[in-house]
Amino acid sequence: MSNFFLDHYLKHTLRHEITELYASVAIKNFAFSMITIFEPIYLYLLFDSLAIVFMYYAFSYTIYFFTISIGAKAAAKYGFEHCIFYSIPFGILYFLTLSQLINYPWLIFVAIILMVVYKSLFWPSYHTDFAHYGASGYKGREISTLSFILTIATILGPIIGGIILVNFGFQTLFIVVSIISLISAIPLFITRERFKPHHFSYRDSFKRLLRPYGHYKRKDSISYFGFGEEVVAMVGWPIFIFLIIERFDLMGVLMSVVVFSIAIISLYIGKLSDVLKKRDKKKLITYGTMIYVIAWFLRPFSVSWLGVLLVDIMSKGSKTAIKNPLFTYVYSAGKNHKGFLKYNIFCEMSLSAGKALVAWSVAFIAVIWSYYGNFDFWIVSFAFAGIWSLLYLFKFYKY
Does residue 3 sit within a domain?
no
Going by pLDDT thresholds of 50, 70 and 90, the confidence category of residue 301 is very high
- Residues 107-154 pLDDT 10s: 999 999 999 999 999 999 888 877 766 544 445 555 556 666 666 778
Domain holding 223: CATH number?
1.20.1250.20
Q: How much is the pLDDT for 10?
A: 46
Q: Please give the Cα distance from 26 to 28 (Å, whole number).
A: 5
Going by pLDDT thresholds of 50, 70 and 90, the confidence category of residue 1 is very low
Q: What is the mean pLDDT of the chain?
A: 86
Does residue 196 sit within a domain?
no
- Residues 7-28 pLDDT 10s: 444 444 455 666 777 788 889 9
Going by pLDDT thresholds of 50, 70 and 90, the confidence category of residue 196 is confident
Going by pLDDT thresholds of 50, 70 and 90, the confidence category of residue 321 is confident
N- to C-terminal Cα distance for the chain?
Answer: 46
Whole-angstrom CA distances from 24 to 30, 77, 156 are: 10, 21, 17
Does residue 194 sit within a domain?
no
Does residue 168 sit within a domain?
yes
* Average pLDDT over every residue of 42-53: 96
Does residue 243 sit within a domain?
yes
Does residue 134 sit within a domain?
yes
The number of distinct structural domains making up the chain is 1
User: pTM here?
Assistant: 0.90
Q: Please give the Cα distance from 130 to 191 (Å, whole number).
A: 16
What stretches of 134-247 show up as alpha helix (H) in DSSP? 139-154, 157-167, 170-183, 202-210, 218-225, 230-231, 237-245
108-133 vs 337-372: helix axis angle to the nearest 10?
A: 150
- Residues 345-360 pLDDT 10s: 999 999 999 999 999 9
Does residue 129 sit within a domain?
yes
Q: Is the pLDDT of residue 5 over 50?
A: no
Q: Is the pLDDT of residue 6 over 60?
A: no
Q: Please give the Cα distance from 398 to 278 (Å, whole number).
A: 13
Range of the domain at 228: 14-186+202-396
Does residue 101 sit within a domain?
yes
